[in-house]
Structure 1
Amino acid sequence: MAMMTFTVEGKLEGDVVKVCVAGREMEIGLFGSDYPTPEEVLLASALSCMLLTVRYVAREKGVEIEELSGYIEGTMDPRGFQGEPGVPPGLLEVAYDIKVKSRDKRIKEIIDLSEKRCPLKDTLSRPVKIRVNWSLES
């Protein structure tokens, strides 16, 4: 299978960033606004990715899942975002709680494989090469 590239476009409008994801617009705001924050969107993506990975792996192995749901939380010290030296500005910890209901004895294998194969859990768990290209206009 060939490499895949995912894209999102966004534009700041006031205190909200409007992003277009797969042809759908989302509005993302700062903490304390009426909009989801970038951190919440990241966590929603990470949780969705884990649940969908479990579903994919279960189908691949012929394992029936009766129920699958989850909760995720991320812990952040806001002092880092505010510029406090020595405090990272991003999430310090991410914790998943996943509930799986299945009568199939192979469900533990599905869970183990899913943790190993979940793209966003992997992305959050290891260093990723990141480039930021700025275009400055006057």
Structure 2
Amino acid sequence: MTTELSTPLNDIVEATGRAVATDPAQATVVFRASGTPEGTVGSAVALGRYTVRVDEPPALGGAGSAPNPVEVYLASLIACQVVTYRFWAQRLGVAIEDLAIDAEGDLDVRGFFGLDDTVRPGFQAVRVTVRISGPESAERYAELQRAVDEHCPVLDLTTGRTPVETTLVIP
């Protein structure tokens, strides 16, 4: 994978910047998802024209037919990191010859099952490993990593505070 520094991503940013400068409301994008149960603990989540299936392994009551929700989160984090690395490499003029990202998270199921209310139901820790190579210096790749860490939307969902409002509708 070689990052092509002359692709139109920088043009997209410039055009978006001009549009947002004249009308800041154009900067807001709403993403939607809608889910329904499938099987014992699985679900089908509609994302526009795509459907993502999610399940749990048999040890957690599922059929093991699809990744579980926290695996989907790790996949989302990795995918967003890949996009953000490629985007910011172009913005900063940093050449990448190879990029591979792994993520793993520690989950204590006592929080999910309500066995210990002092244990968070989510990941206690997440580790991301980025392997990157190319002609740039270590300092340039560190600069790129800082830009990615500051601008990756899915990473921000974990490290920042995102208000979530849940509405229960009972017909």
Name the TM-score, length of structure 1 as normaliser. Answer: 0.92
Other-structure match for 1:18: 44
**Equivalent position SS for 1:12:** strand
1:89, CA displacement in angstroms?
Answer: 1.1
The one-letter amino acid of 2:167's match is: N
The CA distance in 1 between the partners of 2:72 and 2:108, in whole Å, is 18
The CA distance in 1 between the partners of 2:145 and 2:121, in whole Å, is 31
RMSD: 1.4
Residue of 28, 39, 46 corresponding to 2:77: 46
Is residue 2:114 matched to residue 1:83? Answer: yes
Q: Which runs of 5+ in 2 are unaligned?
A: 1-19, 21-26, 59-63
1:62, CA displacement in angstroms?
Answer: 2.0
CA deviations on 1:91-111 (whole Å, 9 max, x unpaired) are 111110010112123222111
1:22, CA displacement in angstroms?
Answer: 3.9
CA deviations on 1:84-127 (whole Å, 9 max, x unpaired) are 22221111111100101121232221111111111111110022
Name the TM-score, length of structure 2 as normaliser. Answer: 0.75
Other-structure match for 1:29: 55
**More helix by percentage:** 2
Q: Would you identify which runs of 4 or more consecutive aligned residues in structure 1 move more than 4 Å?
A: none
**More strand by percentage:** 1
Task: Output aligned runs, 1:39-78, within 5 Å.
Answer: 39-78=70-109
**Equivalent position SS for 2:37:** strand
Instruction: Give the number of aligned pairs.
Output: 137
- Structure number with bigger Rg: 2
